[in-house]
Amino acid sequence: MSQSNPIHIAILDLYDGSANVGMDCIMDILDDWSKKQSITIITTVFDVRVKHALPDDTYDLYLSSGGPGSPIDTHTQSWDLAYCNWLDQMFAKKKPVLLICHSFQIACRHFDIGKVGLRKSKQLGILPIHPTADHAIFEALPDPFFALESRMYQITEPNDKKIESMGATIIALEKIRPQLPYERALMAVAFSDKMIGVQFHPEATKERLSTYFNTEAIKTAVVEDFSQEKWNQIIQSLEEDSKIKHTCSRFIPNFLNQMLHV
Protein backbone atom coordinates (compact mmCIF):
# COMPACT_ATOMS: atom_id res chain seq x y z
CA MET A 1 0.00 0.00 0.00
CA SER A 2 1.36 3.39 -0.94
CA GLN A 3 2.21 5.49 2.09
CA SER A 4 1.17 8.61 0.18
CA ASN A 5 -2.48 7.56 0.48
CA PRO A 6 -4.38 7.74 3.76
CA ILE A 7 -5.61 4.47 5.24
CA HIS A 8 -9.33 4.34 5.90
CA ILE A 9 -10.25 2.29 8.97
CA ALA A 10 -13.78 1.47 10.10
CA ILE A 11 -14.28 1.00 13.83
CA LEU A 12 -17.39 -0.89 14.84
CA ASP A 13 -18.62 0.11 18.30
CA LEU A 14 -20.54 -2.72 20.03
CA TYR A 15 -20.62 -1.12 23.48
CA ASP A 16 -24.37 -0.46 23.21
CA GLY A 17 -24.04 3.13 24.35
CA SER A 18 -22.35 2.16 27.63
CA ALA A 19 -19.30 3.95 29.02
CA ASN A 20 -16.05 2.22 28.12
CA VAL A 21 -12.32 2.72 27.69
CA GLY A 22 -12.00 0.20 24.85
CA MET A 23 -12.78 2.68 22.10
CA ASP A 24 -10.33 5.22 23.54
CA CYS A 25 -7.64 2.55 23.68
CA ILE A 26 -8.22 1.61 20.03
CA MET A 27 -7.86 5.26 19.02
CA ASP A 28 -4.66 5.61 21.08
CA ILE A 29 -3.07 2.59 19.39
CA LEU A 30 -4.07 3.71 15.90
CA ASP A 31 -2.74 7.21 16.56
CA ASP A 32 0.56 5.84 17.86
CA TRP A 33 0.95 3.45 14.90
CA SER A 34 0.13 6.24 12.45
CA LYS A 35 2.86 8.46 13.88
CA LYS A 36 5.47 5.70 13.99
CA GLN A 37 4.73 4.64 10.40
CA SER A 38 4.28 8.22 9.13
CA ILE A 39 1.00 7.14 7.55
CA THR A 40 -2.23 9.12 7.72
CA ILE A 41 -5.20 7.23 9.13
CA ILE A 42 -8.80 8.31 8.68
CA THR A 43 -11.13 6.56 11.12
CA THR A 44 -14.92 6.29 10.98
CA VAL A 45 -16.88 4.94 13.96
CA PHE A 46 -20.08 2.95 13.45
CA ASP A 47 -22.49 2.51 16.38
CA VAL A 48 -23.67 -1.01 15.61
CA ARG A 49 -26.12 -1.69 18.44
CA VAL A 50 -27.72 1.70 19.13
CA LYS A 51 -27.79 3.24 15.66
CA HIS A 52 -27.69 -0.03 13.68
CA ALA A 53 -24.81 1.43 11.66
CA LEU A 54 -22.43 -0.76 9.65
CA PRO A 55 -19.60 0.10 7.25
CA ASP A 56 -19.57 -0.84 3.58
CA ASP A 57 -16.74 -2.74 1.91
CA THR A 58 -14.70 0.30 0.81
CA TYR A 59 -12.53 0.58 3.92
CA ASP A 60 -8.95 -0.67 4.04
CA LEU A 61 -9.34 -2.35 7.43
CA TYR A 62 -11.98 -2.99 10.11
CA LEU A 63 -11.76 -3.18 13.92
CA SER A 64 -14.83 -4.46 15.79
CA SER A 65 -14.96 -3.83 19.54
CA GLY A 66 -15.96 -5.65 22.67
CA GLY A 67 -19.19 -4.90 24.46
CA PRO A 68 -21.54 -5.80 27.31
CA GLY A 69 -24.22 -8.43 27.60
CA SER A 70 -24.93 -11.84 26.14
CA PRO A 71 -23.64 -12.80 22.68
CA ILE A 72 -26.37 -15.43 22.54
CA ASP A 73 -29.60 -13.68 23.52
CA THR A 74 -29.42 -11.05 20.76
CA HIS A 75 -29.34 -13.47 17.84
CA THR A 76 -32.86 -12.48 16.67
CA GLN A 77 -32.40 -8.73 17.11
CA SER A 78 -32.14 -6.66 13.95
CA TRP A 79 -28.70 -5.22 14.70
CA ASP A 80 -27.29 -8.71 15.39
CA LEU A 81 -28.77 -10.13 12.18
CA ALA A 82 -27.35 -7.21 10.19
CA TYR A 83 -23.96 -7.61 11.89
CA CYS A 84 -23.82 -11.32 11.03
CA ASN A 85 -24.70 -10.52 7.43
CA TRP A 86 -21.86 -7.99 7.46
CA LEU A 87 -19.51 -10.70 8.78
CA ASP A 88 -20.48 -12.93 5.86
CA GLN A 89 -19.77 -10.13 3.40
CA MET A 90 -16.39 -9.32 4.93
CA PHE A 91 -15.42 -12.99 4.95
CA ALA A 92 -16.46 -13.46 1.30
CA LYS A 93 -14.70 -10.29 0.16
CA LYS A 94 -11.55 -11.16 2.13
CA LYS A 95 -11.50 -7.82 3.97
CA PRO A 96 -9.07 -7.36 6.91
CA VAL A 97 -11.15 -7.60 10.10
CA LEU A 98 -10.11 -7.84 13.76
CA LEU A 99 -12.91 -8.97 16.08
CA ILE A 100 -12.47 -8.23 19.80
CA CYS A 101 -14.21 -10.05 22.67
CA HIS A 102 -17.99 -9.57 22.16
CA SER A 103 -17.51 -9.29 18.40
CA PHE A 104 -15.47 -12.50 18.49
CA GLN A 105 -18.15 -14.30 20.49
CA ILE A 106 -20.86 -13.34 18.00
CA ALA A 107 -18.66 -14.42 15.10
CA CYS A 108 -17.99 -17.81 16.73
CA ARG A 109 -21.72 -18.27 17.27
CA HIS A 110 -22.57 -17.19 13.72
CA PHE A 111 -19.91 -19.31 12.00
CA ASP A 112 -20.59 -22.23 14.38
CA ILE A 113 -16.95 -22.40 15.45
CA GLY A 114 -17.79 -23.88 18.85
CA LYS A 115 -20.10 -23.72 21.83
CA VAL A 116 -20.76 -20.20 23.10
CA GLY A 117 -21.77 -20.32 26.74
CA LEU A 118 -21.42 -18.89 30.23
CA ARG A 119 -18.32 -19.50 32.30
CA LYS A 120 -18.63 -20.98 35.77
CA SER A 121 -17.75 -17.51 37.05
CA LYS A 122 -16.78 -14.15 35.60
CA GLN A 123 -13.20 -13.82 34.39
CA LEU A 124 -11.30 -10.62 35.11
CA GLY A 125 -7.59 -9.93 35.17
CA ILE A 126 -4.31 -9.58 33.33
CA LEU A 127 -3.92 -13.21 32.31
CA PRO A 128 -1.70 -15.44 30.16
CA ILE A 129 -2.71 -16.30 26.60
CA HIS A 130 -1.09 -19.30 24.93
CA PRO A 131 -0.55 -19.25 21.13
CA THR A 132 -1.25 -22.63 19.52
CA ALA A 133 -0.11 -21.75 16.01
CA ASP A 134 2.77 -19.88 14.41
CA HIS A 135 0.87 -16.82 13.23
CA ALA A 136 2.14 -13.37 12.21
CA ILE A 137 -0.23 -11.74 14.68
CA PHE A 138 2.00 -13.05 17.49
CA GLU A 139 5.25 -11.59 16.15
CA ALA A 140 7.51 -10.39 19.00
CA LEU A 141 5.08 -11.78 21.60
CA PRO A 142 6.19 -14.49 24.05
CA ASP A 143 4.37 -17.72 24.90
CA PRO A 144 2.46 -16.97 26.95
CA PHE A 145 1.77 -13.28 26.49
CA PHE A 146 -0.51 -11.33 28.80
CA ALA A 147 -3.73 -9.44 28.10
CA LEU A 148 -6.82 -8.11 29.83
CA GLU A 149 -9.69 -10.55 30.11
CA SER A 150 -13.13 -9.33 31.18
CA ARG A 151 -15.82 -11.81 30.26
CA MET A 152 -18.76 -13.90 31.41
CA TYR A 153 -18.83 -16.02 28.24
CA GLN A 154 -16.46 -18.42 26.52
CA ILE A 155 -16.03 -20.53 23.40
CA THR A 156 -15.46 -24.25 24.01
CA GLU A 157 -16.06 -27.56 22.22
CA PRO A 158 -14.63 -26.45 18.86
CA ASN A 159 -16.53 -27.64 15.81
CA ASP A 160 -13.60 -29.22 13.98
CA LYS A 161 -15.65 -30.05 10.89
CA LYS A 162 -16.85 -26.47 10.43
CA ILE A 163 -13.43 -25.03 11.27
CA GLU A 164 -11.82 -27.18 8.58
CA SER A 165 -14.50 -26.53 5.97
CA MET A 166 -14.17 -22.74 6.22
CA GLY A 167 -10.38 -22.83 6.40
CA ALA A 168 -10.23 -21.44 9.94
CA THR A 169 -7.55 -22.13 12.56
CA ILE A 170 -7.57 -21.96 16.35
CA ILE A 171 -4.48 -19.90 17.13
CA ALA A 172 -4.65 -19.38 20.93
CA LEU A 173 -6.12 -20.93 24.09
CA GLU A 174 -6.71 -19.62 27.59
CA LYS A 175 -4.38 -20.15 30.54
CA ILE A 176 -3.48 -23.69 31.59
CA ARG A 177 -5.45 -24.77 34.67
CA PRO A 178 -4.43 -28.37 35.53
CA GLN A 179 -6.15 -28.12 38.91
CA LEU A 180 -9.58 -27.64 37.30
CA PRO A 181 -11.53 -30.22 35.24
CA TYR A 182 -12.60 -27.70 32.60
CA GLU A 183 -11.86 -27.51 28.91
CA ARG A 184 -9.61 -24.60 27.96
CA ALA A 185 -11.53 -21.94 26.06
CA LEU A 186 -10.62 -20.60 22.63
CA MET A 187 -8.84 -17.25 22.92
CA ALA A 188 -8.08 -16.51 19.26
CA VAL A 189 -9.27 -17.82 15.90
CA ALA A 190 -8.07 -17.01 12.40
CA PHE A 191 -11.39 -17.36 10.59
CA SER A 192 -9.45 -16.77 7.37
CA ASP A 193 -6.18 -15.15 6.28
CA LYS A 194 -7.87 -11.77 6.72
CA MET A 195 -10.38 -12.17 9.56
CA ILE A 196 -9.03 -12.73 13.07
CA GLY A 197 -10.97 -12.82 16.33
CA VAL A 198 -9.77 -12.71 19.93
CA GLN A 199 -11.49 -13.31 23.27
CA PHE A 200 -9.18 -10.95 25.16
CA HIS A 201 -8.58 -7.19 24.88
CA PRO A 202 -5.39 -6.50 22.87
CA GLU A 203 -6.35 -2.82 22.69
CA ALA A 204 -6.09 -2.31 26.46
CA THR A 205 -3.32 0.18 27.24
CA LYS A 206 -1.45 0.39 30.53
CA GLU A 207 -2.22 4.09 30.99
CA ARG A 208 -5.97 3.91 30.48
CA LEU A 209 -6.37 0.68 32.45
CA SER A 210 -4.41 2.12 35.37
CA THR A 211 -6.71 5.14 35.45
CA TYR A 212 -9.79 2.92 35.09
CA PHE A 213 -8.97 0.41 37.83
CA ASN A 214 -7.83 3.14 40.23
CA THR A 215 -11.15 4.99 40.11
CA GLU A 216 -12.99 4.54 43.39
CA ALA A 217 -16.13 3.07 41.83
CA ILE A 218 -14.26 0.43 39.80
CA LYS A 219 -11.94 -0.48 42.68
CA THR A 220 -14.95 -0.93 44.98
CA ALA A 221 -16.75 -3.07 42.37
CA VAL A 222 -13.73 -5.33 41.83
CA VAL A 223 -13.19 -5.79 45.57
CA GLU A 224 -16.88 -6.55 46.14
CA ASP A 225 -17.25 -8.88 43.14
CA PHE A 226 -13.90 -10.62 43.59
CA SER A 227 -11.53 -9.55 46.37
CA GLN A 228 -8.95 -7.01 47.45
CA GLU A 229 -6.33 -9.52 46.35
CA LYS A 230 -7.77 -9.56 42.81
CA TRP A 231 -7.57 -5.76 42.57
CA ASN A 232 -3.99 -5.83 43.92
CA GLN A 233 -3.02 -8.45 41.32
CA ILE A 234 -4.44 -6.34 38.48
CA ILE A 235 -2.61 -3.21 39.62
CA GLN A 236 0.64 -5.11 40.09
CA SER A 237 0.35 -6.70 36.63
CA LEU A 238 -0.23 -3.29 35.05
CA GLU A 239 3.11 -2.13 36.44
CA GLU A 240 4.97 -4.94 34.68
CA ASP A 241 6.01 -3.67 31.24
CA SER A 242 6.34 -7.25 29.95
CA LYS A 243 2.58 -7.72 30.23
CA ILE A 244 -0.08 -5.20 29.09
CA LYS A 245 2.35 -2.61 27.78
CA HIS A 246 4.19 -5.20 25.70
CA THR A 247 1.02 -6.76 24.26
CA CYS A 248 -0.79 -3.55 23.32
CA SER A 249 2.34 -2.19 21.64
CA ARG A 250 2.53 -5.23 19.37
CA PHE A 251 -0.70 -7.17 18.83
CA ILE A 252 -2.85 -4.64 16.95
CA PRO A 253 0.23 -3.08 15.29
CA ASN A 254 1.13 -6.59 14.08
CA PHE A 255 -2.36 -6.90 12.61
CA LEU A 256 -2.07 -3.52 10.90
CA ASN A 257 1.40 -4.31 9.52
CA GLN A 258 0.32 -7.74 8.31
CA MET A 259 -2.93 -6.71 6.67
CA LEU A 260 -1.78 -3.39 5.22
CA HIS A 261 1.61 -4.75 4.09
CA VAL A 262 3.54 -2.01 5.86
- In the chain, where are the structural domains located? 7-118+153-204+247-260
How much is the pLDDT for 180? 67
Query: What pLDDT, in 10s, does the model give residues 159-216?
Result: 999 999 999 999 999 988 777 667 899 999 999 999 999 999 999 999 999 999 999 9
How much is the pLDDT for 2? 44
Q: Percentage of the chain surpassing pLDDT 90?
A: 92
How much is the pLDDT for 125? 94
- pTM passes above 0.85: yes
Alpha carbons 188 and 196: distance in angstroms, whole number: 7
Residues of the chain with pLDDT under 50: 1-2
CATH number of 7-118+153-204+247-260: 3.40.50.880
How much is the pLDDT for 182? 76
What mean pLDDT value characterizes the chain? Answer: 94
